[in-house]
Amino acid sequence: MHQASTAEPALATGTGLDNRKLLMWLFLASECLFFGSLIAAYLLYRDKSVVGPYPGDLFDIPFTSVSSFVLLMSSVTMVLALAAIQRGDRRGLQVWLLATALLGVLFLSGQAFEFTEFHRQGLSLSTNLFGTTFFVLTGFHGAHVSVGVLILLSLFVMALRGRLTAANSINVELAGLYWHFVDVVWIAIFTLVYLIQP
Amino acid sequence: MTLAEYRRKKGPAAHEETEVSGIRIEREGAAAHERAHPGPLEYIKIGVALAIITAVEVAVYYIGALKDVLVPILVVLSALKFSLVALWFMHLRFDNRLFSTFFVAGLMLAAAIFVVALATLGGSLR
């Protein structure tokens, strides 16, 4: 077992907790509402389209399963990056951060391919209610992944310059919280949008 | 004297209780209700479990005999994956309870929106 940030002395705050971490959790709680609303809108309108294409005509479950697996594994590499810096392993941090960013880019490439394929088959943002709610939901998720990749690459550059140490591993921990949140949102989307079809 | 100055002067206590916005936070020494984060091996084990659950989800999707119970099975498996990531990778199992309170409050509000929207506007999971 590794002593993590929990081994650090209590911070001079009212709760003894790091304010940045508290703020990140509050932000993630607000993001739950954001994505909850988008998922509810999708489930509400996906089978109300009067013209096709419909979800069953387009979804490629094996392909999306691989994408989901890629994003899940990026969560593993992210947490390994945090574990590395918490034990002072800078080389490990660099390797796992880069691996996480690359897996994120791979996921985004899969999403870009999927969007392009759907558009080729006649689905756009304005084709029907399914298209509108699907692209808004998965598009916003993709935007979150994109922001996450940029954060990871920024951390990677900081790690290369030796600016990340065990003492300020909170930076990696906060990025990790965001990244894992993006992952759990996709877990919900994969099941509710792709696997459970009308 | 500010609270921070008071804490520094007082030094680490064996057990403290703080109340923030009605939520009681119990602290022992530096960080009560916080445990050491797991090591890489445990993270990899969780990663393998997540991969297996995803494979089961996809397999269940293609088994025609399970069509009638497909939705509950997939929802349970998805909730299991969600919990594993939140508890281990996001460290909610190990960190202070206040973080869990924030996150669960967000999830509960999202679930409320979800249920109210589907119930009033006529959506369904099927």
User: Residues A173-194: pLDDT tens digits?
Assistant: 999 999 999 999 999 999 999 9
**Sequence-ordered list of residues with C-beta below 8 angstroms from that of B8, at least 6 positions apart, any chain:** A12
Q: Distance between CA atoms of A171 and A175, rounded to whole angstroms? A: 6
- Test B123 with A40 for CB contact under 8 angstroms: yes
Q: Distance between CA atoms of A191 and A29, rounded to whole angstroms? A: 21
User: Dihedrals φ, ψ of A116, to 5°?
Assistant: -60, -45
In the stretch 94-113 of chain B, residues with CB closer than 8 A to chain A read 94-96, 98-99, 102-103, 105-107, 109-111, 113
**Sequence-ordered list of residues with C-beta below 8 angstroms from that of B53, at least 6 positions apart, any chain:** B77, B80, B81, B84
Q: Distance between CA atoms of A102 and A109, rounded to whole angstroms? A: 10
**Sequence-ordered list of residues with C-beta below 8 angstroms from that of B99, at least 6 positions apart, any chain:** A17, A21, A22, A25, B92
In the stretch 23-62 of chain B, residues with CB closer than 8 A to chain A read 25, 27, 29-31, 34-40, 43-44, 46-47, 50-51, 54, 57-58, 61
CB atoms closer than 10 angstroms to residue A164:
22
**Sequence-ordered list of residues with C-beta below 8 angstroms from that of A89, at least 6 positions apart, any chain:** none
- Interface probe for A, chosen from B68, B92, B99 (most Cβ of A below 10 Å), is B99
A173 to chain B, closest Cα gap in Å: 9
- Strand B16-20 and strand B23-27: the pairing is antiparallel
CB atoms closer than 10 angstroms to residue A8:
16
Contacting residues of A for B121, CB less than 8 Å apart: 44
Per-position pLDDT tens, chain A of length 198: 444 444 455 567 788 889 999 999 999 999 999 999 999 999 888 888 888 898 889 999 999 999 999 999 999 999 999 999 999 999 999 999 999 999 999 999 999 999 999 999 999 999 999 999 999 999 999 999 999 999 999 999 999 999 999 999 999 999 999 999 999 999 999 999 998 887
Q: How many CA within 13 A on the CB side of residue A36?
A: 20
Question: Average per-residue pLDDT in chain A?
Answer: 91
- Test B50 with A72 for CB contact under 8 angstroms: yes
| Local confidence band at B119 (pLDDT 50, 70, 90 cut-offs) | confident
Q: Distance between CA atoms of A153 and A50, rounded to whole angstroms? A: 43
Residue B25 · residue B19 · CB < 8 Å? yes
Residue A198 · residue A44 · CB < 8 Å? no
Q: Between A87 and B25, where is the model more confident?
A: A87
B65 to chain A, closest Cα gap in Å: 15
As beta bridge partners, residue A45 has: none
A49 to chain B, closest Cα gap in Å: 13
Question: Average per-residue pLDDT in chain B?
Answer: 78
Q: Taking chain A, what is the end-to-end CA distance rounded to the nearest angstrom?
A: 46
Cα diameter, chain B: 69
Crossing angle, helix A129-160 and helix A61-86, to 10 degrees?
A: 30
Three-state DSSP at A7 gives helix
Q: What is the pLDDT of residue B33?
A: 56
Q: Distance between CA atoms of A118 and A128, rounded to whole angstroms? A: 13
| Local confidence band at B27 (pLDDT 50, 70, 90 cut-offs) | very low
Residue in the block written with tokens 């999202």: B110
Contacting residues of B for A176, CB less than 8 Å apart: 89-90
- Interface probe for B, chosen from A133, A184, A194, A197 (most Cβ of B below 10 Å), is A184
Q: What is the ipTM of this complex?
A: 0.88
- Interface probe for A, chosen from B87, B91, B97, B125 (most Cβ of A below 10 Å), is B91
A73 to chain B, closest Cα gap in Å: 7
**Sequence-ordered list of residues with C-beta below 8 angstroms from that of B98, at least 6 positions apart, any chain:** A15, A17, A22, A25, B20, B23, B25
